[in-house]
Structure 1
């Protein structure tokens, strides 16, 4: 059970959050501004014109960058955008295609191998990583474009990892895709997204009590549940990918996701499965009967606040079925704005919620012993750096 006392005590939260995950999440807006202020050489990306296709390669916490870019491209982009976590570079990639390799450390094996192979095939290569890393060296050697990530984008704040530093990775990738005429994103939209991230950091700050803190409220709603994250809209789809990743790795909560309207049937089919809502029993004794089993919680992420309220929209029927089935729903809709602004609001809210859920459950949001074991096994087998 979530410790509500801890959530309402800023000092206890600070003590539990040993690596400062909440502080780093609060720097998301500053991460975007640092990327905008960096002297990235995007002229070569723009000079080569629009590519035939884009492949974004990332592993672990960096992998969600590809998910977000593909979601933002949506069905309206004339250039197909694919994401890849591992495996060999697809055979269709050649000189007409753009490969974007993303790794905060620049040491993740899969993006490194994909970048090297892209260079050998003469594909256009853009890498987002720390300078001086193996990925940076491969990029220079193959005459690609390096968009370096600063080690400390916010002086005085803990350095971000691949999970907490999402915007240090995502913002340069969005700039590169805009320069390649793949996405319609400009510096004004990213600056507005940075302001939206700042607003969410203020609303979700640790010193704010749970009843007025939207992220703490969401954490309490998700406690003891199996979340089903359903997205309505392209920006919401990117946020859903991030939410499922953060719930799994940060809060250790298994979650699944789907998009409207494609996955509506799969989602409502879960409502009478093993995690269906249990009938209320006023005589239930948690000490004799044990804790209640987890039940489904539908988390609806919507691109716009006004859209999912209408009865005729795509989410309306799913919400109606959920109500009849007794499935509880948490709804999060972005305020009006351009796509990256809406994405920023949804991502920030669920990032903070997942971190509060971890801390309130007595978990370290930045350290998983089993993930550490996986890294050790990978290293012993010579597989390189494990996901983070």
Structure 2
């Protein structure tokens, strides 16, 4: 558990010194990435995918920082897509994939083994192919040989974690052309505006007491967090949040989605990371040393945190919305009663993609501030480098 001094997050020199690859600046380009991604998709000719018969199925391969691309398409397509959408991170390709299907492979560098292998096998079987990644990459070459559609991600994209909208937008534009999702020009622009607004609210020069991402980082810094989404849309945001907290902030985080994850999350409230395992909370709080200095004395033990990500109530049309809302409220009340530190993010109203974008962006910034506040570079991990060295040996 890390205690962060609020002043550190408002120290512009410290922010710049820790952020060697300008992660905060890259996150702030999300709206511009979306607009550029839509333009590049059209220039690449994604509409060609819709000129022939609609594919029998769509399979999406993305992993690591771009894994959420497949999750977003699956979530948006599920309510009304006329064809199934499947997710695959690596080979083997399912036996049913053939010439009647569309395979989408996403990799920022165009060199990730999983999507590259999936694309190559799909091309061998004669499936239609859409790839998104760097130009002049192995992935682009595979797509060209298969006469598929490759969409470039644009210049200066250094990390898939900060280039989400360059990767996701072409896939959504293509899916809209195929009638798999309802993400038209208006929805894309609405989403870009939401991302612009979040970038303004979470900018480094905004002080912590009014900056929602810095405030969230301060809350999460004192916990071992569990991230819980209150439905399918927020469940995607929760998975992305857990990945960003682990990969960017170096905080182990688990995630789940209601209603299925309610029991397994609430069960942790009885464990060793709550005050008295959820029992005797008031007694333990009363006996705590109010003069303890977390910076000098160190924390006695980590404290469980719950980050609840909630959809905009006015925009949820699911028939079981009332039950999910009641379950979310019950989980939150149980958490408070057990001494769990709770933080919430509630989406603003809008198109499903717009609501999701706001949830994702808030945690992306918070995870980055959490890393910087802890004295870590959000883009560089010595142990990731060590892992790569070991796997090359």
CA distance, structure 1, for counterparts of residue 29 and residue 275 of structure 2: 38
Q: For residues 1-388 of structure 1, what are the structure 2 equivalents within 5 Å?
A: 1-38=3-40, 39-152=43-156, 159-278=157-276, 279-280=284-285, 281-283=287-289, 285=292, 290-305=298-313, 313-380=326-393
Residue 173 of structure 1 and its aligned partner are, at CA, apart by 1.1
Q: Could you say which residue in structure 2 is the equivalent of 1:385?
A: none
**TM-score normalised per structure 1:** 0.91
Checking the alignment, whether the CA contact within 8 Å between 2:223 and 2:341 is kept in structure 1 is no
Q: Could you say which residue in structure 1 is the equivalent of 2:279?
A: none
Q: Structure 2 stretches of 5 or more lacking a match?
A: 277-283
CA distance, structure 1, for counterparts of residue 254 and residue 307 of structure 2: 10
CA deviations on 1:275-319 (whole Å, 9 max, x unpaired) are 223532333756897522112111111120557999963312211
CA distance, structure 1, for counterparts of residue 342 and residue 323 of structure 2: 16
Residue 323 of structure 1 and its aligned partner are, at CA, apart by 2.2
> Higher helix share goes to which structure?
2
CA distance, structure 2, for counterparts of residue 349 and residue 290 of structure 1: 28
CA distance, structure 2, for counterparts of residue 321 and residue 296 of structure 1: 13
CA distance, structure 1, for counterparts of residue 94 and residue 322 of structure 2: 42
Deviates more, 1:290-299 or 1:326-335: 290-299
Checking the alignment, whether the CA contact within 8 Å between 1:31 and 1:165 is kept in structure 2 is yes
Measured at CA, do residues 305 and 213 of structure 1 come closer, stay the same or move farther in structure 2, by a change above 3 Å? farther
Q: Structure 1 stretches of 5 or more lacking a match?
A: 153-158, 381-388
How many residue pairs get matched?
374
CA distance, structure 2, for counterparts of residue 67 and residue 293 of structure 1: 35
CA deviations on 1:78-111 (whole Å, 9 max, x unpaired) are 4332222223212221222221100011011111
Checking the alignment, whether the CA contact within 8 Å between 1:311 and 1:317 is kept in structure 2 is no
Residue 253 of structure 1 and its aligned partner are, at CA, apart by 0.7
Checking the alignment, whether the CA contact within 8 Å between 2:258 and 2:324 is kept in structure 1 is no
CA deviations on 1:327-362 (whole Å, 9 max, x unpaired) are 221111111100111011011100000000000001
CA deviations on 1:184-220 (whole Å, 9 max, x unpaired) are 1112111111100000000000011111000000000
**SS state at 2:44 partner:** coil
CA distance, structure 2, for counterparts of residue 88 and residue 3 of structure 1: 48
Checking the alignment, whether the CA contact within 8 Å between 2:34 and 2:169 is kept in structure 1 is yes
Measured at CA, do residues 295 and 77 of structure 1 come closer, stay the same or move farther in structure 2, by a change above 3 Å? farther
Measured at CA, do residues 208 and 75 of structure 1 come closer, stay the same or move farther in structure 2, by a change above 3 Å? same
Moved beyond 6 Å, runs of 4+: 307-311
